[in-house]
Structure 1
């Protein structure tokens, strides 16, 4: 959970503790007897160790005489949920709907800062590479396989590379050029795509070499939209960061990673080297086959 989400949950717990004490329930044990809850549940909620449900809030407000505060507290609970969205919930109808929801965000963003240490950023993906990614997601989360629709929506984001005055600052770790999603042929085509987008005027594509001296550990990937929102994808959930203090940390992290990156011809050379790697793998897998470059 993000710092902001945890701080909000702790603040909610402290407020509920105050309601309990003001209502004459001097201990968690006394309140547990009134609610038929476990005393440990009350302690976890008041100390920000457990999320309170909307029903928990309703009961709490009713017993402590704070019915008027119920709408405000429910809004707080829902905000906490929005800060940390479980993938299982987001993918319950497949991946296409999640991709569709991102389009308005891309449309209104003017400056993008993207850090992906080990995978090609979605908006630069080919259809085959994206298909491999979505199949992996569906298999891992055991979610509906709507791969074709999800790929179509992801590719729809690419129009923003060419429309308007948006600026795309994208950093990839060199590992992203070698992480094999879909097999050698899919990777070869994906790397060709990276060579092509290097020429886009509003795209700044940097690569952090594996041997580069780092100013910060590589960590996880993130996407920063203007200075208003950062999206972080973990195995179990997607986190939205909106607190200015936290956003500033991600902006600083991006700037530090950028110090280690190479651009222009140096980035092109790294991509060409990875292309040669997958060419060799193909020839080893199919002895006697012609090179892809013809």
Structure 2
């Protein structure tokens, strides 16, 4: 995490502290007196100029009459070091180290809920489809092209699909079935792979159809690991959230999309329709 990323996250934590104080009607001076602190400490914490300790956050939550917020505040504190990870720095040594980290993370995860709008998720990709995506990303990020090793790592990650007790509930917008980021024969193989996943005991694959009335318009894909943390990938950054508020927000988004998604035979038909269009184009 860069110094800028760290400071931005610290400012965000300070803003949340200030919000909790203002909800009580307390002034900064009044809160400081209640806590037995210098007024300057309250100011530094609220403006992100000082990093709070867990003891500070516990005391703050009690002082503003919201002890139940202590857990959320401490999650935000822990996130100062882990919330944002630049892809440029992560990919400095190539894609293989990132894939290896994902293998470990997925092995530790029992249940996962995810949504992707523009691409078939890595957990479901064929080697050929993955190779094209990783090559494109290496060109974009100007990172080392260790593509074969990265593809092998991504395939190792998929071993979790065959482990008893795992459950991967994945939603894909129908547009991802038509996004041609690879040759047509590769895309046909990828769509066949998706069909083969339908009915697996560890997979619940839903397709959000074109034309469905969306309860919201999510701007990006996301993954919820064991209802404990959310991972979001942007073009330049990987974001990790574990606060109760963020988890609840992404859970609501996933639930809304799940409500309009097609499963089983209906999902199969949507995939078959995308494949048929490839055959005739």
TM-score (norm 1): 0.72
Residues 30-76 of structure 1: CA deviation (Å, up to 9, x unaligned): xxxxxxxxxxxxx9x9844x999xxxxxxxxxxxxxxxxxxxxxxx9
Structure 1: which 5+ residue stretches go unaligned?
23-42, 53-75, 282-294
77 and 108 in structure 1: CA distance in 2 versus 1, 3 angstrom threshold: closer
Aligned with 1:8 (options 8, 13, 16): 13
Q: What's the secondary structure of 2:199's corresponding residue?
A: coil
Task: Confirm or deny that 1:189 pairs with 2:194.
Answer: no
Cα deviation code 1:186-215 (max 9, x no counterpart): 111100101111131221100000100111
SS at match of 1:207: strand
For 1:46 and 1:257, the matched residues in 2 are separated by: 36
Q: Distance in 2 between matches of 1:5 and 1:249?
A: 21
1:112 aligned residue: 112
* Cα distance in 1, alignment partners of residues 11 and 187 from structure 2: 40
Match of residue 228 from structure 2: 228
User: Judging changes above 3 Å, is the alpha-carbon distance between structure 1 residues 252 and 128 closer, same or farther for their aligned structure 2 residues?
Assistant: same
In the TM superposition, structure 1's runs of 4+ consecutive aligned residues that sit over 3 Å from their partners are 1-6, 9-14, 18-22, 45-48, 76-79
Runs of at least 5 residues in structure 2 that lack an aligned partner in the other structure:
19-27, 29-36, 52-75
Equivalent-residue separation in structure 2 for 1:133 and 1:9 (angstroms):
39
Where does 1:1-294 land on structure 2 (aligned, <5 Å)?
6-8=11-13, 21=40, 47-48=47-48, 79-281=79-281
Instruction: Decide whether aligned partners of structure 1 residues 116 and 11 sit closer, same or farther in structure 2, where only a CA change above 3 A counts.
Output: closer
Cα distance in 1 for residues equivalent to 2:215 and 2:208: 11
CA distance in 2, matches of 1:133, 1:19: 54
Partner SS, residue 238 of structure 1:
strand
Deviations 1:80-102 (A, max 9, x none): 24211111011100111011111
Aligned residues: CA RMSD: 3.0
Q: Which is higher, the Rg of structure 1 or of structure 2?
A: 1
Query: Shift of residue 78 of structure 1?
Result: 8.4
SS in 2 for 1:104: helix
Whether the 8 Å contact between 2:164 and 2:202 is mirrored in structure 1 is: no
Task: Name the TM-score, length of structure 2 as normaliser.
Answer: 0.75
Q: Give the total of aligned pairs.
A: 234
